[in-house]
Amino acid sequence: MTMNLEETSRKPKYRVEIVEKSTPPAGMSGDNWHRYVIGTGPSKIEGKKPGTLRAVTEHAEAVAVNLNERAGGRSYSAYTSRKTKAS
């Protein structure tokens, strides 16, 4: 089965690869921490967040959706150029 360009462009680029129980980051307390990895190919984004497995998974999925929207140019970016045009 082959896919046309429109079908392949709708596939998410970033996806949640893993969410697992973890130790807290240095200097943080608590025992309900999870580590998540979001990736696309060799690029990986790793984070830690306190909460239930379900809550952290939902957070990681929301981050992946946001990254995909930003990568596709469909979302507002907070970045602005510092260069100004000469008048």
Q: How many CA atoms lie within 13 A of 40 on its CB side?
A: 10
What's the pTM? 0.69
Print pLDDT tens along the chain (87 aa): 454 454 445 565 999 999 999 999 999 999 999 999 999 989 999 999 999 999 999 999 999 999 999 887 654 555 556 666 665
Q: How far apart are CA 81 and CA 68, in angstroms?
A: 22
